[in-house]
Amino acid sequence: MRWSGDKSDGRRSYHHGNLREALIRAALDLIGEKGPAGFTFADAARMAGVSSAAPYRHFRDRDALMADVARRGFEQFGKALDEAWNDGRPEPLIAFENTGRAFLAFARREPAYYAAMFEAGIALDSEPGLRQAADNAFGVLRRASEAICALLPRESRPPALMMSLHVWALSHGIASLFARADAGRRRLPMSPEELLEAGVLVYLRGLGLAGGPSATRR
C-alpha cells in the first residue's frame, strides 16, 4: 500500500506531508508482520511510498526509528496502565487487577509496539526520552504496588519496589510466553489473562491480603 504519490486524491505529490508519522506506522506494520528483526529501513520507505533516501531526512538510521517506535510504545503503555490503575479506584485491589489486565491487553492489542519495546534489543538511552517513557510506565506499577503495600500492617509490609518487579516480571513472562501470536507459543488450559489474575491473587494472598477482590470468580 502506498500512502503518497497518488495524484488521484490531488493533495500531495512531491512532498509527502507527514512522512515521519507514515514511517512509524510502516515500521509498526512491518514489525507486526515479520518481527523486529525482519524490519528494514528500505522496507519502511517503500511502504510509505517514498524513495529509500527519504527516511534519512527524519531518522538517523534504522535504530533511531526503532527507538522512536519503542518510546511511543512505552508512552502509550504507561498511559494504558495509568488509566487502568485509575489512582486505585474504585478500590486498590480491584484497580490492581485491572492494571494487570491492561498490561496483557496492551501486549495483545499492540504486539508490534510490545516487540519494539521489549524484544528489539534497543538500548534505553539510544533515544532521548526513551528511558524516561519506560520508567514512567514502570512507575505506574510501582505506585500501584505502594498503594497495595499500604493496605498491610507496617510490620509485615514488603518493599513496594520488589513487589512491582514481581508483577512486572510475571506479566511480561506471561505476555511473552503465552499472549503473543508467536510461532513458538504454547497452548494453555486457560487464557493468559486468567493465568495472570490467578497468579497475582496467589501472590497477594502470600503477602497477607487474604482473598483478593475477585477470589470468588471462576
Partner DNA sequence: TGTACATCAGTGAACGCGCGTTCACTGATGTAC
- Contact residues for a second copy, defined by CB under 8 A: 35-37, 118-119, 121-124, 126, 138, 158-159, 161-162, 165-166, 168-174, 176-178, 182-184, 186, 188-190, 195, 198-199, 201-207
Instruction: List the single partner that 199 binds among a second copy, DNA, none, CB under 5 to 8 Å by kind.
Output: a second copy
CB neighbours (10 Å) of residue 192?
A: 21
Amino acid identity of residue 66, one-letter, is M
CB neighbours (10 Å) of residue 209?
A: 18
Among 9, 10, 14, 206, interactor with DNA by CB under 7 A: 14
Grid cell 508483577 is found at 167
Q: Smaller CB distance to a second copy: residue 24 or 195?
A: 195
Work out how close the CB of 147 gets to DNA at its nearest, in angstroms, rounded to a whole number: 44
Instruction: List the single partner that 147 binds among a second copy, DNA, none, CB under 5 to 8 Å by kind.
Output: none
Instruction: List the single partner that 188 binds among a second copy, DNA, none, CB under 5 to 8 Å by kind.
Output: a second copy
Q: Is 172 in the site for DNA (CB under 7 A)?
A: no
The Cα–Cα gap between 147 and 141 comes to 10
Instruction: List the single partner that 16 binds among a second copy, DNA, none, CB under 5 to 8 Å by kind.
Output: DNA
Cell of 124: 534505553
Task: Determine contact, residues 41/62, Cβ cutoff 8 Å.
Answer: yes
**3-state secondary structure (DSSP) of residue 124:** coil
- Looking at residues 17 to 36 of the shown chain, list those that interact with DNA (rule: CB under 7 A): 17-19
Work out how close the CB of 183 gets to DNA at its nearest, in angstroms, rounded to a whole number: 18
Q: 174: Cβ–Cβ under 8 A, 6 or more apart, which residues?
A: 104, 192, 195, 196, 199
Task: Determine contact, residues 113/69, Cβ cutoff 8 Å.
Answer: yes
Cell of 208: 497477607
Rg (CA), the chain: 20
- Looking at residues 40 to 69 of the shown chain, list those that interact with DNA (rule: CB under 7 A): 40-43, 46, 49-54, 56-58, 61-62
Work out how close the CB of 200 gets to a second copy at its nearest, in angstroms, rounded to a whole number: 10
Residue 180 has phi, psi (to 5 degrees) of: -115, 160
Work out how close the CB of 129 gets to a second copy at its nearest, in angstroms, rounded to a whole number: 15
Binding site for DNA (CB under 7 A): 5, 12-19, 40-43, 46, 49-54, 56-58, 61-62
